[in-house]
Amino acid sequence: MLPENFLKRMETLLGEEYPNYLESIEEPRHHALRINTLRGSVAGIRTLFPELVNPVLWEETGMYYGAELPMGKHPLHEAGAYYIQEPSAMAPGHYLEAKPGERVLDLCAAPGGKTTQIAAAMKGMGLLISNEIHPTRAKILSENVERMGIRNCLVTNETPVKLAKNFPEFFHRIMVDAPCSGEGMFRKNETATENWSEENVALCAARQKEILSCAQEMLLPGGRLVYSTCTFAPEENEQVIEWFLKEYPEFEEEDVQLCEGMVKGYGNHQGAIRLFPHKLSGEGHFVCVLRKRGKIPEEIGIKSMKSLSEKEIADYRAWEKKSLAVKMEGTFLRFGDELYVAPKDCPELKGLKVLRPGLHLATLKKGRIEPAHALSHALTKEELLPETGCFFEMDDLRVKAYLHGETFPVEGENGFRLVFVENYGTGWGKNTGGILKNHYPKGLRTQF
């Protein structure tokens, strides 16, 4: 049962379309995934899953699938070949239009759908900072960044205020997928209705204004900011934008092209978009595209972190030379025994809560190297020396055995081997006398 006051508000908002909305929320919700082009091609996944025939109109890598398909319990899901994401939630990332080589911030990022979409658009080039204020959700975000094989992402667990102090006018693009009352997800998540109230709508609107105030400080002149919510409430959508434009007149809305089924936001808002479940195959969403007037400067005066020297990473380089066909480049960082590589010119992180300072490369153990699970998901088949890989088709019984944490016989020399499922790196094992000792993380082991 939907709250009575909510239904009255929706009837006022939609007018003659209100009965169509009521019909739509009684229908089954739509299931979709986004193919991870950092790790493989759209055509490749569609070959493996011929059931994926209907594309999401506003995301070229998005595909609908039937609820009967267990896409969340599949070896290629564990390998990061795709990300399960509500189709309307793919729209904000589409309109952010992130480009390779830019500096991008996803300010309210958990669980990671928009971060992983942005990362794919950046193609591993540039700097992506993905932030989540809640520690538990930030951990989930970090795990999804790892699973999708993202190399150029730093995951932080900070307040927007703290980030704004550290990164004044630093980012080319910022995503603000703001916490909201969640009205657009009532069909998908029935428990969300229990927390709804008009008072909560007002509280969310106040919080959204605070977040946007911090976000605007971090955007470069000429930069793009995308604000989104998954609610219908005008107080959290158009009214927040109206407040923002009055408070920060250096911003303006950008007129954007709508996809089929989308409608313009209410009022005089050329950059605002509404997604309704009775008009398209997805849940309720709001998106607004904002631009900061001015020209993007060529140089930014923020201190970069110092990379470890080649001497300090000599053990890793020796392992890399005999195992990989590529040489990792960037800012090398060490935290205890853990070695990471962050993007080149990575900004100073001192004083920030950082969960993932770039790509986790390895654990350094008394003169020997243990490659990190994150590295297994970041490497492609072409970046690995042939003798370092073990290759299986997705229906091979050894794949399930590996994901369960079991061992099995292999051929070749002793040493670490990267287990591939349909050419997607899934995790490490260590060949010891013809037996592959399982190094798949215990916390990720599955029982499907």
Residues serving a catalytic function are: 230
Q: Output phi, psi for 250, to 5 deg.
A: -75, -5
Nearest to 211 by CA among 75, 325, 106, 63: 106
In DSSP terms, 364 is beta-bridged to: 369
Distance, CA of 134 to chain centre: 16
Q: How far apart are CA 275 and CA 59, in angstroms?
A: 14
Entry field: residues in the chain: 448
The residues, ordered by sequence, that sit 6+ positions from 7 with a Cβ below 8 Å of its Cβ are none
Nearest to 3 by CA among 205, 195, 200, 201: 195
Angle CA(112)–CA(118)–CA(122) in degrees, nearest 5?
140
Q: How far apart are CA 202 and CA 141, in angstroms?
A: 27
Q: Which one-letter DSSP state was computed for residue 400?
A: H
- The structure tokens 């900061």 sit at 292
Q: How far apart are CA 204 and CA 214, in angstroms?
A: 16
Nearest to 144 by CA among 38, 65, 271, 53: 38
DSSP element (H, E) containing 246: helix 238-247
Task: Give every strand in the sheet of 359-365, ordered side by side.
Answer: 331-335, 338-342, 359-365, 368-371
